[in-house]
Copies of this chain bind each other. A is one copy, B any other.
């Protein structure tokens, strides 16, 4: 039913959705009781699929930067392979009312938290004792930035088309892990 992704929540009519799914309208109502529930189900499914893709790609025994690299690659791969699902999550669900927005916000917050804890882990790994003051909120802020950057790059890839998932992930790793400052001084983060 990813008609939603292509047409948008409001424009996609139940007529069209049912038609493209090859069934009749009342049947849709038999299984999912309203357009709202139908959309909620779509959103939830896509959210879970994306979260699972990312989660499953990450080996928690690896160092933090390698975990982040793996997660980003999975994220870019998944969004590229499921453009409609990504559109539903990123565009439609957040625009059409609280119920859907909350659904996707939960998933996103979880991702942010995961990234934040990854940053915390990295801080401990790098722990020279010089960064005790990196508070929880700072880490959340950084994680928000990183997630937003990833979302933006996903959209960019979608339009450009010539950027591979690894390219996008590398760009972001360089951006985030090395930092523009170091980057400009010639530093590079490498996958291995």
Contacts and interface: CB of A to CB of B under 8 A. Distances in A.
Contacts of A60: none
A14 interface: no
Contacts of A91: 94-95
Given A91-B94, A141-B156, A177 B178 contact: no
| This protein's copies in its complex | 4
Contact of A185 (B96, B130, B186): B130
A83 interface: no
Interface residues on chain A, size class:
35 or more
Contacts of A146: 149, 175, 180
Contacts of A104: none
Interface of A: 8, 10-11, 65, 91-92, 94-97, 119, 122-123, 126, 128, 130-131, 134, 137-138, 140-142, 144-153, 155-156, 163, 167-168, 171-172, 174-187, 189
